Amino acid sequence: MKNSPAHIKSTNQTIIRKMIHRLNIGALIGLICFVLFPHSASAIPAFARQYGISCSTCHAAFP
């Protein structure tokens, strides 16, 4: 029967699996966009100014 508890449970599980699959795909697309299209950093060198040191004292350039 289509209205049996087992069928309803199976249908609900299928719906939940599809929702989780779509969320995973969305998260993956978001992660790819985050990695491929980075924004430039807008750091404020307040610490370096406060103590009169250069930023390179703590931060090294990426090789």
Q: Is residue 15 part of a domain?
A: yes
The pLDDT tens digits of the residues spanning 10-58 come to: 788 889 999 999 999 999 999 999 889 877 776 778 888 999 988 888 8
Model's pTM, two decimal places?
0.50
Looking at the domain assignment, is residue 45 inside a domain?
yes
The two three-digit tokens of residue 21, written as one number: 């699959």
Contact (CB, 8 A) for 34 and 28: no
Query: Residue 18 domain-assigned?
Result: yes
Tokens of 43: 């750091």
- Name which of 15, 10, 16 is nearest 2 in CA terms: 10
Question: In this structure, what token pair is assigned to residue 7?
Answer: 């069928």
The residue count of the chain comes to 63
Cα distance between residue 63 and residue 59, in whole Å: 12
Domain around 30: 5-57
The amino acid occupying position 35 is V
Q: Give me the number of domains the chain comprises.
A: 1
